[in-house]
Amino acid sequence: MKSHTTLVLLSIISYLLIATQARKQIPTAAAAGKSWVRTIVRGSENITQLHFYVHDVRAGENATLYRVANSSITATSPTSFGLVNVFDDLITAEPDINGEQVARAQGTSTSADLVNQAIAISMNFYITSGEFSGSTVSIAGRNPVTEASRELPVIGGTGAFRFARGYAVTTTYLHDSEANYSILEYTVYVTYSNVALCM
């Protein structure tokens, strides 16, 4: 009898915990007043830090991520192996989705690990506002989506970011599985130079 009561209590508590988490409010800007772009000059090279929020809307009239393909084992695979998505996600400087667009995240993600939850991601950050408007930063790498902090390589860039190299660190700022909506926080470190070859 006693252990039954304990079990019921535990289920109620875990239900409440989950319900509270699902209703988690979007906190106001963590870095209010701080620019989303910061550059330091080091000799002929510059290092730019980009800090922004990517809005992953997977359902509804404003969806920006769509499924492209499945493999024959996607449905039975514990990691949805072979699932391919394409996305064109809004990027804002602040967490609020109604904030001004500063860039887009455009690319594909493929569930590419048979054992662990990890995707092979290929995407371009297309900057649409500010001093780097029109430039792109390209990312390609392994994203272990369930880990708290994920690191991705910057493999190149265009415009101001020619000769780019660097890395990006991403964390999940908000995940609402019911609404199929996530906000991903990114900090990107890009080193680049405009030194032309003297030929």
Ligand X SMILES: *[C@@H]1O[C@H](CO)[C@@H](O)[C@H](O)[C@H]1NC(C)=O
What residues line the site for ligand X (CB under 6 A)?
39, 41, 46, 59-62, 67, 69-70, 75, 160, 179-180, 192-194
CA atoms of 126 and 190, how far apart (whole Å)? 14
Please check whether residue 82 is in contact with residue 160, taking contact to mean a CB–CB distance below 8 angstroms.
no
Q: Which residue, 8 or 63, is less far from ligand X as judged by CB?
A: 63
Q: Which residue, 13 or 59, is less far from ligand X as judged by CB?
A: 59
CB of 146 to ligand X, least distance (A): 17
State CA 88 to chain mean position distance: 12
Q: Which residue, 97 or 155, is less far from ligand X as judged by CB?
A: 97
CA atoms of 42 and 103, how far apart (whole Å)? 25
Tell me which residue has its CB nearest to ligand X.
59
CA atoms of 16 and 199, how far apart (whole Å)? 68
CB of 1 to ligand X, least distance (A): 38
Q: Return the amino acid letter for 134.
A: G
Q: Which residue, 15 or 163, is less far from ligand X as judged by CB?
A: 163
Gyration radius (Cα) of the chain, Å: 20
CB of 189 to ligand X, least distance (A): 15
CB of 82 to ligand X, least distance (A): 10
CB of 69 to ligand X, least distance (A): 5
Q: Which residue, 134 or 151, is less far from ligand X as judged by CB?
A: 134
Neighbouring CB atoms inside 10 A of 73's CB total 12
Kindly state the DSSP code that residue 125 receives in the 8-state scheme.
E
